[in-house]
């Protein structure tokens, strides 16, 4: 099993802690798939996962995780929850 990617940045918006693992410019297409949202919400209710696809590559990689600000206490908590979500998806 591949290692969980490291977090490159956390941005706080009005509704979410946006935990970024990879730069969105690396991808040709980014989606928020239902199956990933279901896995994310089982760790932190209302969380979303954005996945990205690079041209010529069939693998979809986690680009970022959005954790609701009313679920995580702060950026550090959001980072931990995002890592749990990524680990759950990789199972």
Q: Is the distance from CB of 63 to CB of 24 less than 8 angstroms? A: yes
What average pLDDT does the segment 67-79 reach?
97
Query: Can you give the pTM of this predicted structure?
Result: 0.88
What average pLDDT does the segment 84-88 reach?
95
2 has pLDDT over 70: no
CA 83 – CA 78 distance, rounded (Å): 9
What average pLDDT does the segment 13-41 reach?
93
And the tokens for 11? 């941005």
Whole-number average pLDDT of the chain: 90
What average pLDDT does the segment 7-20 reach?
93
């Amino acid at each position: 099993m591949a290692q969980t990617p490291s977090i490159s940045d956390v941005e706080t918006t009005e509704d979410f802690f946006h935990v970024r693992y990879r730069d969105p410019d690396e991808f040709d297409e980014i989606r928020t798939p239902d199956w990933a949202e279901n896995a994310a919400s089982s760790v932190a209710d209302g969380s979303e996962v954005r996945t990205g696809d690079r041209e010529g590559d069939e693998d979809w990689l986690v680009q970022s995780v959005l954790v609701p600000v009313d679920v995580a206490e702060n950026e550090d908590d959001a980072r931990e929850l995002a890592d749990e979500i990524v680990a759950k998806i990789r199972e």
